[in-house]
A = this chain, B = another copy of it.
Amino acid sequence: MYDGIVQELIDEFGRLPGIGPKSAQRIAFHILQTPSFDVSRLASLLVDIRERVRFCEICGNVSEQERCAICRDPRRDQTLICVVEDAKDVAAIERTREFRGLYHVLGGAISPIGGVGPDDLRIAQLMQRLADGTVTEVILATNPNLEGEATATYLSRLLTTLQIAVTRLASGLPVGGDLEYADEVTLGRAFEGRRAV
């Protein structure tokens, strides 16, 4: 639609997740027409990111060093490990400031349809971390969907062999949500998990 490089840039932005053709066009024109936007900075970050970012050798979180900032922090509770699917989930939990233990990033969830089995996840590394007996509780914080539940079930069975408490995040109504609009499964979970007040 456009001459050469403008269309190339639009196409390239369109390859990123969540960016459709219209958004890609808007972004390309913004870059073209906004002199204050620092293109060279974005360009150099793109070039550097793959070289500079690695995954923490202990927990699998993103890190610029061999061990991530959380695994390096001695003030974190070394007896607690929260198991998540993805590094993005670590950031989401950190934002709550509710958890002061360590993490373990699986790198996905078991999905027979997606062709992801237990051997494709960082489960062996988790078992190795639990071997020395320091950890007393493993919190399974995989997503509350089919794959996440399957992964949590698989892990909880695997961990029964060890003398470690295994817990799962509570499912229920989202805070600030409207009961009327909750789906049946969530509402059912909220009933199952009801507490005395």
Residue-wise interface mask of A (55-91) relative to B, using a CB-CB cutoff of 8 A (1 in contact, 0 not): 0000000111100110000000000000000111001
The SS class assigned to the A binding surface is: helix
Cross-interface CB contact of A30 among B17, B64, B91, cutoff 8 Å: B17
A181 at the interface (CB under 8 A from B): no
Within 8 Å CB of A12, what residues of B?
38, 41-42, 45
Whose C-beta in chain B lies nearest to the C-beta of A87? B29
In the complex, the answer to whether A5 meets B44 with C-beta atoms within 8 Å is no
In the complex, A88 Cα to B32 Cα: how many Å? 12
Residue-wise interface mask of A (4-40) relative to B, using a CB-CB cutoff of 8 A (1 in contact, 0 not): 1110110011011111000101111111100001111
A53 at the interface (CB under 8 A from B): yes
Cross-interface CB contact of A3 among B16, B38, B43, B69, cutoff 8 Å: B69
A185 at the interface (CB under 8 A from B): no
In the complex, A99 Cα to B143 Cα: how many Å? 51
In the complex, the answer to whether B8 meets A17 with C-beta atoms within 8 Å is no
A98 at the interface (CB under 8 A from B): no
In the complex, A141 Cα to B103 Cα: how many Å? 56
A48 at the interface (CB under 8 A from B): yes
Within 8 Å CB of A3, what residues of B?
62-65, 68-69
A157 at the interface (CB under 8 A from B): no
Q: In the complex, how many angstroms separate the beta carbon of A102 from the nearest chain B beta carbon?
A: 16
Known A-B contacts A16-B30, A91-B25; the reply to A5 vs B37 at CB < 8 A is no
In the complex, the answer to whether A2 meets B46 with C-beta atoms within 8 Å is no
Within 8 Å CB of A18, what residues of B?
23, 26-27
Whose C-beta in chain B lies nearest to the C-beta of A63? B3
In the complex, the answer to whether B47 meets A32 with C-beta atoms within 8 Å is no
A52 at the interface (CB under 8 A from B): yes
In the complex, the answer to whether A49 meets B31 with C-beta atoms within 8 Å is yes
